[in-house]
Structure 1
Amino acid sequence: MKSKQSKESEKESEVGVAKAAAREAFIPVMRELVRAYQAYAVYSQTHIRELGLTPAQFDVIATLGNTDGMTMGEVADKTLVTKGTLTGIIDRLEQKNLVRREVPEGNRRCFMLILTPEGEQVFEEVFPTHIAHLKERFEQLTPDEMQQLQSLLKKLRGLFE
């Protein structure tokens, strides 16, 4: 059994480790990354909602735009939406008559997701509008800064994959 003094010493040691961890050099970088993402997300998502879509619906429509359609798996791989959430999003887009499910000939095990004419019209209106909205912010960076930022973000992502 540990003595009271031994337990107190162990606790002091743990506090010292926690203080040291809090001083790690990457923590300010991590905080800035999270703050930058949160600011971007609020800016982007607010505009998307003003356009009458949820961010996930926009992501699906933007992914299907300018294509002949994709399988559910392809859409899940190309969007930021999980497969479990995707079914509900597609259901709601079908209710809005923006997307349809179509079973391809020769493969009854899957179906294609295709923008309806109304979905194509929404894509043609909303996608360029939102890109222009984002461009207002991104064009404040120089081309060199954009390249540096892209390279560093790719490198950072690679560290976690």
Structure 2
Amino acid sequence: MKQQAEFLPTVQALVQCYQAFEAYSAADIRAQGLTPPQFDIVATLGNTAGMTATELGEKTLITKGTLTGVVDRLADRGWVERTAHDSDRRCQIIRLTPAGEALFARVFPAHMAHLAACFTGTSAAEHKRVQTALRALEQVFRKETA
């Protein structure tokens, strides 16, 4: 029971931190007229020549079933398009349209500035300390799932 008492506050702090981040981030994304999954796709496709749905799913936090619907809605708004893959006709490439590139150029820097505001006054050393702690915790989970 002692071991459980030691790790449970860490898990709670991790979850609470993630929830707070998500709430702060999502509010800004919604204010820009997007849902968080839509922003995730636009941000991931920005500055790329596009990618397959499989690649897009691997680089975002969106499940395959949800990904199709989100891409459909972005396509309906004229922000993404699906084109044939050069070498594999079973695959399609999803890429931003010119309107999608303009959207990316507007919303991505604005959202990064919104997030940066949270870190005003945080020193480089503090960033490094937090990154080191988070990466160490990540490795604990990766080791357990390997």
TM-score by length of 1: 0.84
In the TM superposition, residue 71 of structure 1 has moved relative to its aligned partner by 0.8
Unmatched 5+ residue regions in structure 1?
1-19
Question: What is the DSSP-based 3-state SS (H/G/I as helix, E as strand, rest coil) of the residue aligned with 1:90?
Answer: helix
Larger radius of gyration: 1
- 1:30 aligned residue: 11
- 1:106 aligned residue: 87
Summarize the alignment of residues 58-137 of structure 1 with structure 2, pairs less than 5 Å apart: 58-137=39-118
Letter in 2 for 1:38: Q
- Distance in 1, Cα, partners of 2:21 & 2:86: 42
Q: What do you get for the CA RMSD once the two structures are aligned?
A: 1.4
Measured against aligned partners, the alpha-carbon deviations of 1:98-154 in whole angstroms (never above 9, x if no partner) come to: 000000233211000010011000000000000000000023321111111111111
- Any runs of at least 4 consecutive aligned residues in structure 1 with deviations exceeding 6 A, and if so which? none
- Distance in 2, Cα, partners of 1:100 & 1:154: 36
- Distance in 2, Cα, partners of 1:140 & 1:89: 36
Shift in CA distance, 70/23, structure 1 to aligned 2, threshold 3 Å: closer
Measured against aligned partners, the alpha-carbon deviations of 1:41-98 in whole angstroms (never above 9, x if no partner) come to: 1000000000000000000000000011111111111111111210011000001110
The aligned length equals 142
Aligned sequence identity (%):
46
State which of 10, 22, 33 in structure 2 corresponds to 1:52.
33
